[in-house]
Amino acid sequence: MKRAHLLVFITLVVLTSGCNFFAPPAAEQTLAADHAATSTQMVNIRQTATAQADRLAITVEHAQTSVRAADAQSTRIAATLNATGMIFIDLRFITPEFPTPLPNEGTDTNGNSPPVFAITPITSGEGAQGNSSLQGQPIPTPLIEPTIDPDAPRLSDIVLTTAVGADDCPTNITSVFPTNAQGVYVSAVAHNLMPTNVVTSRWMREGVEVVPYNWSPNFEIEEGCIWFYMPASDVDFSAGNWSVQLELDGIPAGQPVMFTVTGTADTGG
């Protein structure tokens, strides 16, 4: 009877061992479980990193857009200050030569990267300003264009001629005169000329004044030709470089008009 019980026990042990014979060892099962858990963690990390990278890219793009907006705003501010009469704005930099490049703009055809204009706020005294390209540049003296009053007296269309017509306007404009010429006319168009105005012609040879003439109208000239005549007999009408400067009330009207007196006499042929 005892032998029968022992035989049954041995049989159960053998059968139980046979059930786990083809199963992996416990260590390999643990490694497999750890690998599965690690793979899940890696997938979660990749998903998290991708979301963070997307957010970072959006943030960078927004920052670059803000810098571009600052460039444009700086340009508008400089233009506004200049329009209001402030003279320290360098007009060459009202329109930036290069805007701040975005990351995907690459290089130019020569392989050069466009410059970056950094907008770094700094303080100076009680105010704040941007460290833009306007700083560090020489401040030029502003060119102030004179405002021409259309009703003010003035002279225009100053020319030299050998003769004038019945309307006092030139008939034969030239800048070369022979030594045997009778004289030289200088003609101009007068605008809003009054009897109180004084027009002067200063005739010069080789930069040295040889004779001046003064004249005032005896009536108002809204727009019409006037002229001065320098007779050759009044001066040493010799060959050389000559010029005549018209003045209105002592102020030069334009630049001196140059002409040449040649040593060859006009034979009229």
Please say if the pLDDT value at position 52 is more than 50. Answer: yes
CB atoms within 10 A of CB 34: 10
pLDDT for the residue numbered 211: 96
Lowest mean pLDDT among 110-124, 140-154, 203-217, 250-264: 110-124
Instruction: Return the closest-CA partner of residue 193 out of 238, 223, 233, 236.
Output: 223
pLDDT 10s digits, 212-240: 999 999 999 999 999 999 999 999 999 99
pLDDT for the residue numbered 118: 42
pLDDT for the residue numbered 51: 72
| Kind and range of the H or E run holding 44 | helix 26-83
pLDDT 10s digits, 163-174: 999 999 999 999
Distance (Å) of CA 188 to CA 21, 59, 60, 95, 167: 124, 68, 66, 41, 12
The whole-number average pLDDT for the span 241-246 is: 97
| Longest CA–CA separation in the chain, Å | 171
Burial (CB < 10 A; 0-12, 13-18, 19+), residue 224, is middle
**What is the pLDDT confidence band of residue 131, given thresholds at 50, 70 and 90?**
very low
pLDDT for the residue numbered 72: 67
Lowest mean pLDDT among 15-24, 30-39, 68-77, 177-186: 15-24
Which string of b and e fits 165-183 if b means at least 16 CB within 10 Å? eeebbbeeeeeebbeebee
pLDDT for the residue numbered 121: 41
For the chain, what percent of residues have pLDDT higher than 70? 56
Please say if the pLDDT value at position 243 is more than 90. Answer: yes
**What is the pLDDT confidence band of residue 33, given thresholds at 50, 70 and 90?**
confident
Taking the complete model, does pTM exceed 0.75, yes or no?
Answer: no
